[in-house]
Amino acid sequence: MVSLDNGGLVAGCRSDPVPPLRGFTLLLTGLAGAGKSTLARRLQDDLKQAGRSQIMILDGEMFRIPTPGDVRAADAGHDIATLRMAVVAEAVTRAGGVAVCAAVAPLDAARSAARRRIEAWGPFILIHLSTPLAVCEQRDRQTLYRDARLGRLSRLSGVTHIYETPGDPDLTIDTSHISMEQASCMVMRRLIREGLVS
C-alpha cells in the first residue's frame, strides 16, 4: 500500500519547491519610429520561448492624455503618462510578471521616478533606442514627423518638444544598424546575465 503524508504527496516523491520567478520591467524609450513597439513584440516572443508566461506589453499610447498647446503643459502630460504606465508596470512586476513598456517617455525625471517606484519590487531595465531622428523620419508610416513640421501636429518629441536622452541607460540600441532579432538578442543576453531568464 502506498502511504501518503499530510500534504497528500506520495512518500518519497516530494520535490523541492520551485522558487517563484522574479518580476521585472523593461522600459524601451526613444523617439517615435525608433522601433520600440516592434522590439517589444519581438521580446514578448523571445521571453515566452525562455519560459516567461506572464508578459504584458504596455504601449505609451495607452496612457497619453490631451494637453494644451504650451510646452509646460505638454511636458507635464508626458510626466503623467509615464508615471501612469509605471503604476501598471509596478503591479505586473510585483505579481512576478514581466512588463515590457514601449514609450517615448521623453523626460528624465519621469523615467527616474518610474525606476524608483518599480525597483521596490523588482529589477527595472532602461533600454534607450538611440535610432537617429533622420532614420525615424524615414520610417514615418503615420506621417507624424511630416505633420509636426507642417504645424498639423502640436506635440512630437524631437521636433516640437524636447526628448531628454537618457544619461544612464542600462542598454543602448541603435536599430538603424541592427535587426530586431539582433536587438532582442542583446536584451535577452542582458536578462540572462541578470538571472531573470535562463
Q: Tell me: the pLDDT tens digits for 87-103?
A: 999 999 999 999 999 99
Are 24 and 124 within 8 A, CB to CB? yes
Mean pLDDT score of the chain, rounded to an integer? 85
Question: At 124, phi and psi to the nearest 5?
Answer: -125, 120
pLDDT at 35 over 50: yes
How many whole angstroms separate alpha carbon 46 and alpha carbon 188? 8
pTM over cut 0.85: no
Domain boundaries, the chain: 24-193
pLDDT at 18 over 60: no
Q: Tell me: the pLDDT tens digits for 104-136?
A: 999 999 999 999 999 999 999 999 999 999 998
CATH for 24-193, among 3.40.640.10, 3.40.190.10, 3.30.230.10, 3.40.50.300? 3.40.50.300
Of 184, 186, 171, 176, nearest in space to 45 by CA = 184
